[in-house]
A and B are shown apart, each in its own frame.
Chain A
Amino acid sequence: MMFLLTATAWSAIKLKFYCLAWQPGAVDQVIDIVDEWNENHPDIQVEIVWGTWETSDQYLLTNFAAGTAPDIIHTDAEKFREFGIMGFLEPLNKFLDEEIIKDIPEESWEDCKDDRGYIYGIPWCRESQVIFYNKRLFDRLGINLPHGRVVSWEELVEIAKKVVQLTNGRTWGLLAPLMERFHWTLIEQNNGKVLQTDEKGRWKVEITDQAKEAISFYLSLVIEHKVMPSDVINIDYTSLMQGFLNEKYAMVVFGCWNRRLLSQVKDFEWGLMWLKKGDNMTNAADPQGIGISRTCKHKAEAFEFIRFFTNSKNSAEIAYKDWLFPIRRSALQDPRFSAVENEWDFAYQLLKHAKNVKPPMPGFYTFEWKVLVPTLEKVILGKISLSEAYKHIELKGNELLKQLGLR
Chain B
Amino acid sequence: MMSHCGYKKKLYPYCWLLPLFFVIGIVSVNPLLRGIVFSFYGGGVFGGRERFVGAANFISLFKDDLFWLSLRNNLIWVVTCISLEFIFGFLIALLLNQPCVRLKNLYRALILLPWATPPVVAGLIWRYILSSDGPLNTFLRILKLISNPPSWLMEPGYSLAACIGVNVWLGLPFMTVMLLAGLQAIPHDVYEAAEIDGANAFKRFFLITLPMMKSVISTVITLMSIWTFNMFDVVYVLTNGGPGNSSLILSLYGYQNAFAYYQKGYGASIGVISLLILLIPVSIYVRMFFKGVETE
Contacts and interface: CB of A to CB of B under 8 A. Distances in A.
B121 to A, nearest CB: 15
Interface in A33-69: 57-58, 61-62, 65
A405 B44 contact: yes
A374 B46 contact: no
Contact of A233 (B45, B48, B60, B243): B243
A66 to B, nearest CB: 12
B187 interface: no
Given A85-B46, A374-B242, A404-B47, A234 B262 contact: no
A404 B244 contact: no
A369 B253 CA distance: 12
Contact of A369 (B47, B261, B264): B261
A82 B262 CA distance: 10
A374 B260 contact: no
Interface string A12-23: 000000000000
A405 B43 CA distance: 7
B154 A365 contact: no
B259 A61 contact: yes
B233 to A, nearest CB: 13
Given A366-B260, A370-B261, A374-B242, 10 more contacts: A82-B46, A229-B132, A230-B151, A231-B154, A236-B127, A239-B131, A369-B261, A378-B243, A404-B44, A404-B47
A406 B239 contact: no
A57 B47 CA distance: 20
A405 B244 contact: no
Given A86-B45, A234-B242, A405-B46, A363 B262 contact: yes
Closest 4 A/B residue pairs (Cβ): A405-B44, A405-B47, A378-B244, A377-B244
Interface residues of B, number: 33
Contacts, number: 90
Contact of A383 (B239, B244, B256, B263): B244
A143 interface: no
Interface in A356-391: 362-363, 365-366, 369-370, 374-375, 377-378, 380-381, 383
Contacts of A375: 244
B243 A363 contact: no
Interface size bracket, A side: 35 or more
Nearest to B240: A234
A380 B133 CA distance: 20
Given A62-B259, A403-B44, A381 B131 contact: no
A400 B23 CA distance: 39
B235 interface: no
Given A86-B262, A369-B261, A406 B47 contact: yes
A378 B44 CA distance: 28
Interface of B: 42-49, 60, 66, 127, 131-133, 151, 153-156, 239-240, 242-245, 256, 259-264, 266
Interface of A: 57-58, 61-62, 65, 82, 85-87, 229-231, 233-234, 236, 239, 242-243, 248, 362-363, 365-366, 369-370, 374-375, 377-378, 380-381, 383, 402-406
A403 B266 contact: yes
Contact of B242 (A233, A239, A402): A233
Contacts of A231: 132, 151, 154
Given A239-B131, A403-B42, A403-B266, A377 B260 contact: no
A383 B262 contact: no
Contacts of B133: 239, 242-243, 248
A403 B259 contact: no
A87 B49 contact: yes
A370 B258 CA distance: 12
A370 B257 CA distance: 9
B125 to A, nearest CB: 13
Contacts of A243: 133
Nearest to A406: B46
A405 B131 contact: no
A365 B133 CA distance: 30
22 contacts: A57-B260, A65-B264, A82-B262, A229-B132, A231-B151, A233-B243, A234-B240, A236-B127, A243-B133, A363-B45, A369-B256, A369-B260, A370-B261, A375-B244, A377-B242, A377-B244, A403-B42, A403-B266, A404-B44, A404-B262, A404-B263, A405-B43
